[in-house]
Structure 1
Amino acid sequence: MFGFNKNLDLPTRLQWKFAHEPELLGWTIRARNYNTFVANCMFVVVAVLLLGVSFIMYSVYEGMSQPWRTLSCVFFYVLMLSVTSSMTHQRMNFAFRFTQSGVECCEWKDFPEWALTFLKWLAGVTAIFFIFMATIDPSFLLGALIGPGGLGLTYLSMAYSKNYREMHTQYHHLIYEWRDFTQLAVATNRDVVDLKFTHFDQRLGRVVSWSLNIFCKRKQKEAVAEVIRPYLSPGVPFIKAKVNVPLSTD
């Protein structure tokens, strides 16, 4: 009804290497391709720091009426916590395609232009709000500097920072033949099928031994593993184990 299960639109530059072969299995999914435990820890640490900043703001706003004093601090905390969550818990887009020759994986992440638009409008609206409230209570001028001012600086740093844009824009097309894989594992801790491989990476110019994490939709990892298993070389181990998502093949 709401399109939550809608397939992702593939990048226009994507050209499947094995496009001439019938697709055995394929899907798109958004997933977290990083260590979620580390991300959760970072989020908790920042949440505690923001809570401390909010209490400092509360103590600074002594001249403000009690309801507005509490409201502005809560607003700041919730807003900054939302921004933090969008940075520590981002998802990557994935497309997987299985054929007789092997597995292809496209992973991409487009820069969130919507976030810039949201921040820009939010900074403008909150600035108008605080200026209006300052006509009633002058102490709101300080809130206008801290709240909308902080949002404005965040917007500028996101919009004009080349490093920030590169960090939030990625594209990789990964190609593996079935003979490359040396182990098949069904993760016990995530909806992931892990394939260890050894092959020559043309992008890096050397032989690489790493893991390909195939992110699956809920309760489908066993079925995906059963599709993969017959195409692997004889003697390749098939196990169930806890899988740690690698950060990079570089």
Structure 2
Amino acid sequence: MKVSEGLFGVRSLLSYWATPRELPPQLTWKYASEPELLSWRIKARNYNTAVANGMFIFMLFFTLALCFIMYDVYEGTDQPWRTLSCVFFFCLMAFTVSCMTHQRMNFAYRFTASGAEFCEWKNFPEWALRFLTCLAIVTAILFACMATLDRDASYLIYAVIGPAKVMLLRASMNSKVYRDLQTEFHHRTYEWSRFTLVVVDKKQTLVGLEFCWYDDYMNKDSLSTAPLFAKRREFDHLLAFFEERLPHVPRVARHIDRDD
């Protein structure tokens, strides 16, 4: 019984991380007064995941190679600090790279009789600032302990320089310019008549809605496909929903760009 309760708690926590709780105050539904026909919220990677995953694997192997080089360079360092420093460096770099290659955007979709509304937003990762603060504290404590155990005062220099560099990184991330780069809010509204095609991408388990819009820069009409990010088990349900709501709109099977 306790094992099942623990698994349920883990699933609940993962679900909390995977699903945004509510719309931020910067975004509101245009047709909020109308009853919804279908709605859902999800966190998804709105970019080429194959390229990102390949980059992540490459960086892991590159970091592992650096760790072996570090291990040879620190040949004069006593164990276990020699091994711990390499393990700490690998974990830190793997975490940093994963944050870059596995970023997720918040998506919320709402369909009513008047049309469709898509909200996208990315909040500033406050957890990263907390992580860097904790990292600076742990680094200072670690080097202080090494100075005490090895009776080497040079570690005290690292106990100051290491956390100082981490806090400088934290300060740069907390700047207004960086916060603005890491924060996005978008709200798009479409009438049902604007959709010209239902695109089905079975390989990615994605459904897309093609719509026409006027390109002011090119001075002509253009077509774009809005990918609808959803859980894989909802794929067939979405197809059935659009079959009912858009019976006269043709359906085509092809690749969907996730960042369209």
Unmatched segments (≥5 aa) in structure 2: 1-7
Report what 2:77 is aligned to.
64
Report what 1:169 is aligned to.
183
Report if aligned partners of 2:39, 2:111 keep a CA contact under 8 Å in 1.
Answer: yes
Cα distance change of structure 1 residues 133 and 206 upon mapping to structure 2, 3 Å threshold = farther
Cα distance change of structure 1 residues 111 and 207 upon mapping to structure 2, 3 Å threshold = farther
Alignment of 1:7-22 (within 5 A): 8-22=21-35
The amino acid across from 2:57 in the alignment is V
How does the TM-score come out when normalised to structure 1? 0.85
Cα distance change of structure 1 residues 14 and 161 upon mapping to structure 2, 3 Å threshold = closer
Alignment of 1:1-250 (within 5 A): 1-2=8-9, 3=12, 4-6=14-16, 8-137=21-150, 138=152, 140=155, 144=159, 148=163, 151-160=166-175, 162=177, 164-200=178-214, 207-232=221-246, 234=248, 236-246=249-259, 248=260
The amino acid across from 1:197 in the alignment is F
Deviation at 1:147, TM superposition (A): 5.6
Deviation at 1:226, TM superposition (A): 1.4
Let me know the Cα RMSD of the aligned residues. 2.7
Cα distance change of structure 1 residues 210 and 98 upon mapping to structure 2, 3 Å threshold = same
Deviation at 1:24, TM superposition (A): 0.2
Cα distance change of structure 1 residues 165 and 196 upon mapping to structure 2, 3 Å threshold = same
Report if aligned partners of 1:186, 1:222 keep a CA contact under 8 Å in 2.
Answer: no
Aligned counterparts of 2:220 and 2:27: Cα–Cα separation in 1: 24
Does 140-149 or 215-224 show the bigger shift? Answer: 140-149
Report if aligned partners of 2:212, 2:223 keep a CA contact under 8 Å in 1.
Answer: yes
Deviation at 1:185, TM superposition (A): 2.1
Aligned counterparts of 2:70 and 2:157: Cα–Cα separation in 1: 10
Report if aligned partners of 2:26, 2:185 keep a CA contact under 8 Å in 1.
Answer: no
Aligned residues: 244
The amino acid across from 1:176 in the alignment is Y
Per-residue CA deviations over 1:198-225 (Å, capped at 9, x if unaligned) read 12489x9975421111111231112112
Deviation at 1:104, TM superposition (A): 0.5
Report if aligned partners of 1:64, 1:140 keep a CA contact under 8 Å in 2.
Answer: no
The amino acid across from 1:84 in the alignment is V
Cα distance change of structure 1 residues 142 and 229 upon mapping to structure 2, 3 Å threshold = farther
Aligned counterparts of 1:53 and 1:105: Cα–Cα separation in 2: 44
Report if aligned partners of 2:206, 2:230 keep a CA contact under 8 Å in 1.
Answer: yes
Does 2-11 or 32-41 show the bigger shift? Answer: 2-11
Report if aligned partners of 1:178, 1:233 keep a CA contact under 8 Å in 2.
Answer: no
How does the TM-score come out when normalised to structure 2? 0.82
Per-residue CA deviations over 1:162-213 (Å, capped at 9, x if unaligned) read 1x322321110011111111211222122321111112489x9975421111
Cα distance change of structure 1 residues 168 and 14 upon mapping to structure 2, 3 Å threshold = same
Cα distance change of structure 1 residues 44 and 144 upon mapping to structure 2, 3 Å threshold = farther
Aligned counterparts of 1:186 and 1:238: Cα–Cα separation in 2: 7
Unmatched segments (≥5 aa) in structure 1: none
Aligned counterparts of 1:149 and 1:57: Cα–Cα separation in 2: 22
| 3-state DSSP of counterpart to 2:80 | helix
Deviation at 1:14, TM superposition (A): 2.0
Aligned counterparts of 2:69 and 2:162: Cα–Cα separation in 1: 14
Deviation at 1:47, TM superposition (A): 2.0
